[in-house]
Structures are given as structure tokens and as C-alpha cells.
Chain A
Amino acid sequence: MRKICLALLALTAACSSAPPGGAPAAKSYKIAVIPQGATHEFWKSIHAGAIKASRDLKAEGVDVTVIWKAPLREDDREQQVQVVEGFLAQGISGIVLAPFDRRALVRPVEEAKRAGIPTVVLDSGLDSDQVVSFLASNNHRGGELAAEHMAKLLSGKGKVLLLRYQEGVASTEAREQGFVDGIKAYPGIELISSDQYAGGTRDTAKTAAENLLNRYGNQIQGIFTPNESSTSGTLLALEDVRKAGKITFIGFDASEAFIAAMRAGTLHGIVVQNPFRMGELGVRTMVDHLRGKAVEKKVDTGVQLISPETLDAADSQQLLHPPLAKYLEAGPGGF
């Protein structure tokens, strides 16, 4: 009992010692960061970026805590809706969200706003004007970059194949559309299949790619895949059916395996985003908003094409190797 009294005293003392008008500097912020999933490296980079922002802000004297919470299943909108809803009652200051779906998450986000919790949206768009800011790569531009690079490598003629990711994901749909639009500028290049989907995991992507390679493998000169899992699965399939290196292959997103594949000449380019920056800016934008500063409604966090030739350039290396280990704890696997 006495301890509680003392604690209360200390608390009231702390509050009353703050200058009138409530200078935000003394406040502490709890910010929930909600990705689409947890296991892809992309989300790890956003996580690391968010942690970096919180540490830097702490050094600047702003107390920010980042709560990282991924939905349990990675392909389930309902789960993500539940995660957002779960935060509403937890006394958090703001939400940084990478919505799985441009519509399903609108209701919980607007409810959060009514409850006084603002949302910053990352990566994939949301059909709502109630959000503080939208930070994303220009995905359509990313698809165009891939198309331009493909055209260059094929010298403007040939047959290519687009293996899509999954139905209803705004970011990858924009990349796919960007690629389709980009290819139109080259009349010598024909897109012979663009209606097949890789599905949610590497395994489904590998299966789909194997099946398509059997059907079209002898006709095509190029393949484009719009995200990490579809690129990874297709790369495995190309290696397995001994077509790796023989078909021009451009993927999206970064991983160690892709870098190795580019060095081995089996992958001819990747379009990368800057998820680390996305996570960092997401948290910073939210804190700025909470502290009453004006923020941009839309922020392009940048896309860039990395080819085997530009692989070792300093800016490429920074994109490819965000300092994950510095900010994230390893699992019990401890690798």
C-alpha cells in the first residue's frame, strides 16, 4: 500500500513537473507496427527500420516503443483485421500498418481513428482518406523498370512470361501492371502467358513455375516475377529443370539467394524496394504526426533495379544488406 502511494506521488510529481501545455517531448509513444507477415525478409527489414527509428528518436529525447505484431497466418485478411482490432483497446498512440487488402482493413483503421488512434499506411495502399500518410515504393514504376531491363537484355525482341503473385494484393498487382505496360513499348516482345498465379508460398510458386516451364519452356526467352516468394520459387524451378541461365529472369525484392543467383548468372536483375527506410520513415512520420507536425500525405520510398553489373555498387549494397542483426534479436535457432 505504501509503495503504491509513493508511486502515485512520484507520478503526479512527474506530471506536474512537465511544462504547461504538455510539451510532447516528455510523453512516451507506443506505436504498433503491423506487417502482412513475419517470415519474409522484406518484413524483417521494415521491422529493423522501425526499431532504428525508435532508437534514434530515443537518442533525440523522444520515448518511442515499437510493438511488432504480425498476423498469425500470412495469407489471411481476417487475421490482420483482428490484429488491428486487438490493438484498439491496448492504449497505443498510433498504428503503422502494411494492409493485406485495400478494402478489408478500411473499417478497423477508421474505427481506430475514431478511438483517437491514427494510422500510417505502408507498402500496400488502403482505400481510405482517414490515414495520416501512405509510404510505399512506386510499385508500378518497379514493374516498368523490370520491363525496360528485360527489353534491353533481349535486344527488343522475344517471348516473355509473367508469373503473377496472388489475387487481390495491391502492391504486386501494381508491379505486374507496370511490367505489362512497360512491355507494350516494345512491339518486338510478346507476353505469351500472364494469367497464372504463383500462390502464397515458395512451394506453390515452385510448383507453378515447373508446370509453366514444361509448357512454355522451349518458347520463351524471359520471365518476370513480382515478389520474393514467386521469384524464389521460380529460381528453384529453373535450376531444377536445368533452364537456369538460359532464360532471362528478372525478379523483385532481395535475398541472399538472389544475390548468389545474380553472381551465378541465373538471375539477371532484381527490382528492390527500400523496406528498411519504409519502416524507419513509417515510425518517424507517425511520431511527427503525434507531436503535431505536418506530414506528407504520400511518400515514395523508392525502387531501384539492381543488375549483376551494379551489384557491388555502394548504394546497391546498402539496399541489399540492411543492418537487420543490429536491430533484431535472433530466434532460438540462433543463426
Chain B
Amino acid sequence: MNALSLRGIRKRFGGTVALDGVDLDVAEGEVLAVVGENGAGKSTLLNVIAGALEPDGGEVRPVPRSVAYIRQELSLFPHLTVAENILMGREPSRFGVIDGEAMAARARALLDEFGRPEIAADDIVGRLAPASRQVVEICRALAADARIILMDEPTSSLERADVVRLFASIRKLCARGIAVLYVSHFLEEIREIAARAVVLRDGRSVWAGTLAGVTDEGLIRHMIGRPVEAAFGDSAPEAPGEVVLSVVSIGGASFEVRRGEILGIAGLVGSGRTEMLRAVFGLDAVPGGELKIRDERVDARRLSPVASIRRGIGYLSEDRRIEGLFPHLSVRENLAMTRPEALDVGGWIERLRIKAGDVDDPVVTLSGGNQQKVLLARLLHQGASILLLDEPTRGIDVGTKAEIYELIRALAREGRAILMVSSYLPELFGVCDHLAVMNRGALSAVRPIDEWTPDSVLEAAIGGGSAAA
């Protein structure tokens, strides 16, 4: 029996057509994957199903009740406890007074069921690690007794071990007859958890079927509407130039990057990769360490973003919405933020193939992939010759990802030194020349990419008696 059927759903925002005829069926107890490039209409579709948006046309049947929408920490209360977050709106109470014990007990039961009893019911959610926060969101959906659960990129901030646990609990949800709509860019994971998928492109559902009957290439072709070349571009390594950045014990890391080289940093979420990158850029204060940029020695305690930008270092945050973009400012202003003068907006838009209606429109009107391109264009316009990129392809559709890989390689060929943090092993192997692995605040030795295998990276990342696996 279908938990939900959509027929011909349409939705416009002003002049933009976000959904232009989406059909979709999901059965009770089924996981249905929804895939598509960023800007294909996935978020709009989920919002329609969740009831947050009214569709302009089409049919939703039955009118969905008890839908839970899990979207990357946006629906948490950072100041409140885990138990309060899980049971928000359905607190056990008598005469309006909360029964604290019953509440903690119910929260604990749900956390146990999810296999995460180490998260305490009275922990403050704002202090939890991202993976644990996700668990809290899922437990809330369980507590809400949702019949349909929408998950938007639920694994993007999770370690592999947590992904495994997430999938186990999704299967439990299905066993209870709950329907799950699962949006993700990770095709491997999709195949792991879902049997069927719907592909969205330009607001339409262009393909639906069983995943067993389609290859990745086939799926991607449906998503971008044309055949794809090798995703990572040509990988003929150039002869690396001189060392332009050397880091001595900053954030537990010591390494060198050369002109024309792409150095990848792997590691688990929370292993200190982002912290190290931020410290090198001067965003966070560090107790000690030294940086050598070309021939200039700098005490790590005296680093600052202003000085780093002056020295030609560019930093791309892993969280473009919070730390990268000025959402209400225009594309033009966002580009010009680090260097106001001599901006050739049109040139950058053309070079990076940014899809923007009007460069004076607020940057939020762009899709996620195009927003990311705007941020990369900002670094290039700034004239950065050393790029620190933190998860440059997070939350970006497959087509744009390929473009960004190509761009990163081109930038290296032009003589820039690139440091790239990523949680996605295939892209590290596809793009980088050298690789090092972060493990609990310490960086391994840098080795050429050929000397690493996915297994050896994983081992370096979780080695040393970690219980994570």
C-alpha cells in the first residue's frame, strides 16, 4: 500500500519554476531515494511533502500527516537538552508540569534503540558532536511516531560507523511500516539503503525504477541529461614546483605544499582537519607553531585572516551558508568581498560557468553548487595562490562536482598550491597528488597518492585503538 502518491506537482517562486510536474510513489516500509543535481527541486519537493510549502498544482495523496523532516541540524534547539529536543511538543506532563523522569526515560529508550546509549538525555544539544546531533533529530522523528520520514543528506556530517548505524535504524523504521524519502548525493550509500529511486531534473521526475537495474553512469546521465566524461578529469601530474607553504606543528600538523600540487587531507569528522585549516589561515588562535609562506617565516600565534589574505592565502569554509556567503548581498558583492577593486563579474561567471540570473540578485537565489562556485571565484578574484579548501564539494550535485574537480586541477596546473580537506575518499583519490590523514588531532606523514589505498587511509584514520569501527 502506498504511503504517499504525488501526481504532477508544480511549484513556482516568482519567475522561477522549481517543480514542473513531479510524480512519485512510496510504499509503506519502503526507502525511496530521491536524487538529482542541486537546483533540481529536491528541497522544494520535500518542503511540499512536509507541508511547509503549498504546491501550485498537482495532487498529494493521501494528505500526509505525521511527516518528520530531518535536515542537517536546522531543526534542533541548541540551548536545550537531548531529551527536550527529542520530545519537543510531546513532553510527558501532568497539569502542565513536565515529568522529568518519564521524559528522560523515554529519550533514553529511543537513544538505546538507535544504538547510541552514550548520548545522555540531559546533555545540552549545542555541545554535541554533529553526528550525535543527527541522532537526536532521528530520535525526535521516532518519538513523533512519524509515518513518513524525509531525510535530506543525513550522512553528510556522519562518520562511516554512524552511517552504518543510521542505516540500521532506517531499516528498523521500515520494519515498522514507515516510509522514508532519502535524499543524498552519495550513490554508494543510496544503493546500500534504497531499492528504488526517483531522479529529479529541472523540477521534473525524469526517471523512476529499481536501482538494481541501473548503473551509476546511467543514473548520473538521468540526473544531468547528458553522458558524463571521467569525473575527475585528466590526472597527468605536472612536475611540482618549489615549496610555497610549510607548516610546523600547527593544530597537530607539519607538512609542506608545493606550487602546482594538490595535497589531500583525509580523516574522520571531528579528527581536527577543519581546526587545523582554520588555524593555518589564522581564524582561530593557536598556542604555538610556525608557518613559512614562500620565504617569510610567521609565528603561528600572530596569524590573522587579514594578514593571510595579504600573503595570498585563500580559505573556503566547509559551511558555506554560515561561514562563506553573505546571503542577502548580491552575487557581485559576494565576489568582491575580499578584494573590492577591479572585479570582472562576467569573466568569473563565464570561467566557472556560474548559473546566475542577475549578478545583482541576492546570492541565496542561486543553487548550492553555484553558490560554491561564487565562493571559489571569490578566492580566485582575491588572487590567492595558496588555497585551503574544506570539503569543497559538500552538498553539491554530481555535475557541478565534476566541474569543481576540473577547476581545482586547472588551478593547480596554473601554479597554485592547494590543500584540500575531504571526507569523500573517491574524490581525494581522483584529484590529489599527495595525501595525509588526520587522526585525533595529529596528521600522518604526507605520501604520494599512489602509495595509499582506501583501506590504508581508513586504517590511518581510525587506527590507534579507536572504538569507532
A–B contact at 8 Å CB threshold (below): no
